[in-house]
Amino acid sequence: MTKVDKFWEELPSSCPPAEAIDSELGPVFRLVKAAPPSNDCFASKAALGKQKPFKKSVDDCSWASCSMWNKKSAVEGVLKLGHVRRQYTHVATMHFPEGAGKHLAKGDHVDFWCYANFEIHDAINDVEAL
């Protein structure tokens, strides 16, 4: 890591992955539990102490990311899962400038690792009720 690469959360080794990039990102969408959202709304499942599922598709680095989607239709698809719909009340539309963190898109899903010196609330453009 370079001196710039201090992140908001403690990350596993080799995280973010080498293919993650620091560039402008947005619009992206994040499900949140309140308006306005608290910092906890942007914490990774790892930071919140959630148990990682036993799926091979969820690696430690993704589990330690702030999950977002690059299409609103992908968020709507996730909300069809009842347990997800019961947990979240709003969706935040966000835009990150270069220098905010590193990200890696996997289809419609985006893993984002925020730099420690970036105020994540500065990236919020809108928060709307579901």
Give the burial class of 93: count Cβ atoms within 10 A of its Cβ; 0-12 exposed, 13-18 middle, 19 or more buried.
Answer: middle
Give the SS3 label for residue 76: helix
pLDDT digits (tens, 9 = 90+) for 3-17: 447 998 999 988 999
pLDDT digits (tens, 9 = 90+) for 49-77: 888 877 667 888 999 999 999 999 998 88
Residue 1: the pLDDT is 39
| Cut 0.85: pTM above it | yes
Name the band, by pLDDT with cuts 50, 70 and 90, for residue 78. Answer: confident
pLDDT at 2 over 60: no
